[in-house]
């Protein structure tokens, strides 16, 4: 059992007599459905596994999908498989809880993949009608071993055989596991290694597991053509969600607690177009936009304010978009709002132009940061006597960061902050390469109680974020269809929702 245990309610039961069990087991039509067809992603997942195999010859690699987590009593959180498992197996939103992918070392080199999971119990078992977590009477049709084998083209076994298989032959002492994916399974691997007489100390075993996690994270940093196609799908779905937000802004104003209304509208599209949201949506109106990760979304949406929406749809393959638009609720920016917005837009454009093969990832932030600092210097916000060069000094400067405290970019893919386990030299100091997908998202934030900001700036927060593909000769803005210049945003609002006087 990999999933968390649910407490059992003593007041609930089903008849346990033989007559009832026999009655429940009878009268069901034979399941004559053919196995699931081979998935489009199967060949791509096989290539990923082959690349991983070359990194760890002769070692048994354990990549758990994870299990169910209890929300309260006998209800669970919605299951999402661990990203490394999804990437290597090809199973996204349809992955079963308690699944584990194992790469078995072959006698002549290489690995062969075995996927362990809990198949559905037959109709003559109590699980079918009495188990609210796994029984098909409760949770609906679940895939069979034949389905998974046909869909993914790899060997599939019952999860109950996992512990014995991990302990077999000499490879039991050469196990690596993705520890964070499932602590219980990590404990099983630790026990198995110890019983097999591993020569590694406990600290060395953890370092070996950590190395596996780093490698798996880094494998996702350059996307192939299929993965880029999935990113395009996620971004297109997210565009629809933003269109819906624009359409409903007048309703969000009228309803009260409008941030929740905006969040709910986007969530509707996320569930309809994909698996759900890729992260908790930020729907921040007015001064809430100056809280970088405002996910409470409990505030009002008022005419004349800006609303900053940072949201992305995760599609069934688990690739997610990550888009931010700052929208004038009334359809038009005020002069002060436009002044701040246009500064952020200029910084974002500078960051995008730094996206090219051969540049460092950190060059994106440096380019956008310079534009932000220049505007703040020109507006007289830096301390008296501080020059542009001084504030941009990486060691002794940084005054301008008061109004933009976050970084400008991160990698994007199956996780919204993808490849996060990479070391600094491979991430921040890493070289940009064709196939990388990343965000460019500068901002300016003037909190309502910021006495160092001009009074007319206070309460205004702006961020603009797009998803960018590194190409052979520069970049492609994958979310370019979503307007981002201030006048283009106003036209977008007018086109989607009609003129202000008609709303």
pLDDT tens digits, the chain, 503 residues: what are they? 578 888 877 666 788 889 999 999 999 999 888 988 999 999 999 999 999 999 999 999 999 999 999 999 889 999 999 999 999 999 999 999 999 999 999 988 899 999 999 999 999 999 999 888 999 999 999 999 999 999 999 999 999 999 999 999 988 989 999 999 999 999 999 999 999 998 888 899 999 999 999 999 999 999 999 999 999 999 999 999 999 999 999 999 999 999 999 999 999 999 999 999 999 999 999 999 999 999 999 999 999 999 999 999 999 999 999 999 999 999 999 999 999 999 999 999 999 999 999 999 999 999 999 999 999 999 999 999 999 999 999 999 999 999 999 999 999 999 999 999 888 888 999 999 999 999 999 999 999 999 999 999 999 999 999 999 999 999 999 999 999 999 999 999 999 987 555 55
What are the residues whose beta carbons fall under 8 Å from the beta carbon of 223, sequence distance 6 or more?
Answer: 231, 413, 435, 436, 437, 469
The string of DSSP letters for 251-302 reads HHHHHSSHHHHHHHHHHHHHHHHSSEESS--EEEEGGGGGSTT-----S---
SS (H, E, C) 396-442: CCCHHHHHCCCCCCCECCCCCCCCCCCCCCCCCCCECCCCCEEEECC
pLDDT at 8: 76
- Cβ–Cβ < 8 Å for 84, 181: yes
The string of DSSP letters for 435-495 reads T-EEEE--EEEE-TT-TTS-GGGTTEEEE-BEEEEE-SSSEEETTTTS--SHHHHHHHHHH
The string of DSSP letters for 115-172 reads EEE-PPPPTTSHHHHH-TTT-HHHH-----HHHHHHHHSSEEEEGGGHHHHHTSSGGG
What are the residues whose beta carbons fall under 8 Å from the beta carbon of 27, sequence distance 6 or more?
Answer: none
As given in the structure block, the two tokens for residue 280 are: 């908790």
Q: Radius of gyration (Cα) for the chain, nearest Å?
A: 26
As given in the structure block, the two tokens for residue 234 are: 């996620």
Helical (H) or strand (E) element with 311: strand 306-311
3-state secondary structure of 64: strand
Q: Where does residue 474 fall: left (phi above 0), alpha (psi -120 to 50 degrees), or beta otherwise?
A: left
CA distance 61 to 77: 27
Residues in the chain: 503
CA distance 92 to 274: 11
Q: Where does residue 12 fall: left (phi above 0), alpha (psi -120 to 50 degrees), or beta otherwise?
A: beta
Helical (H) or strand (E) element with 98: none
As given in the structure block, the two tokens for residue 291 are: 């809280």
**Integer angstrom CA distances of residue 148 from 34, 246, 467:** 12, 41, 33
Beta bridge pairs of residue 438: 411, 468
pTM for this one?
0.95
């Amino acid at each position: 059992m990999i999933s968390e245990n649910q407490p059992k309610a003593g007041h609930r039961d089903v008849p346990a007599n033989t007559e009832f069990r026999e009655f429940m087991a009878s009268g069901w039509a034979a399941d004559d459905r053919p196995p699931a067809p081979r998935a489009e992603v199967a060949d791509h997942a096989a290539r990923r596994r082959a690349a991983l195999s070359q990194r760890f010859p002769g070692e048994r690699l354990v990549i758990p999908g994870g299990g169910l987590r209890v929300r309260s009593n006998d209800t669970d959180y919605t299951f999402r498989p661990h990203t490394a498992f999804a990437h290597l197996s090809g199973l996204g939103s349809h992955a079963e809880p308690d699944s584990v992918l194992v790469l078995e070392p072959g006698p002549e080199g290489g690995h062969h993949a075995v996927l362990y999971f809990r198949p559905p119990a037959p109709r003559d078992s109590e699980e079918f009608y009495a188990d609210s977590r796994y029984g098909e009477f409760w949770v609906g049709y679940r895939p069979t071993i034949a389905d998974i084998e046909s869909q993914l083209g790899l060997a599939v076994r019952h999860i109950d055989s996992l512990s014995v298989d991990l302990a077999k032959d000499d490879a039991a002492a050469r196990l690596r596991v993705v520890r964070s994916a499932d602590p219980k399974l990590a404990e099983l691997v630790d026990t198995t290694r110890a019983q097999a007489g591993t020569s590694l100390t406990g600290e060395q075993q953890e370092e070996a597991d950590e190395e596996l996690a780093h490698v798996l994270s880094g494998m996702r940093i350059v996307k192939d053509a299929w993965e880029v196609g999935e990113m395009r799908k996620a971004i297109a779905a997210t565009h629809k969600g933003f269109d819906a937000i624009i359409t409903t802004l007048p309703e969000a104003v009228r309803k009260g607690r409008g941030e929740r209304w905006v969040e709910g509208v986007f969530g509707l599209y996320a569930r309809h177009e994909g698996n759900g949201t890729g992260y908790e949506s930020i729907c921040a109106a007015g001064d809430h936009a100056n809280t970088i990760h405002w996910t409470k979304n409990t505030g009002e949406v008022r005419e004349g304010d800006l609303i900053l929406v940072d949201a992305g749809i995760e599609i069934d393959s688990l690739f997610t978009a990550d888009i931010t638009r700052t929208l004038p609720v009334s359809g038009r920016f005020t002069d002060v709002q436009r002044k701040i917005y246009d500064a952020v837009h200029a910084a974002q454009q500078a960051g995008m132009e730094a996206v090219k093969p051969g540049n460092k990832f950190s060059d994106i932030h440096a380019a956008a940061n310079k534009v932000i600092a220049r505007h703040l210097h020109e507006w007289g916000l830096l301390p008296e006597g501080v020059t542009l060069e001084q504030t941009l000094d990486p060691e002794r400067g940084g005054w301008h960061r008061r109004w933009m405290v976050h970084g400008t970019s991160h990698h994007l893919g199956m996780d919204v902050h993808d490849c996060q386990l990479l070391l600094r030299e491979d991430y921040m100091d890493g070289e940009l390469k064709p196939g990388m997908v990343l965000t460019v998202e500068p901002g300016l934030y003037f909190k309502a109680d910021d006495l160092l900001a001009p009074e007319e700036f206070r309460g205004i927060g702006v961020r603009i974020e797009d998803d960018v593909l590194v190409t052979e000769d520069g970049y492609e803005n994958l979310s370019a269809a979503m307007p981002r210049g201030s006048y283009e945003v106003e036209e977008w609002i007018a086109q989607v929702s009609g003129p202000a006087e008609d709303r």
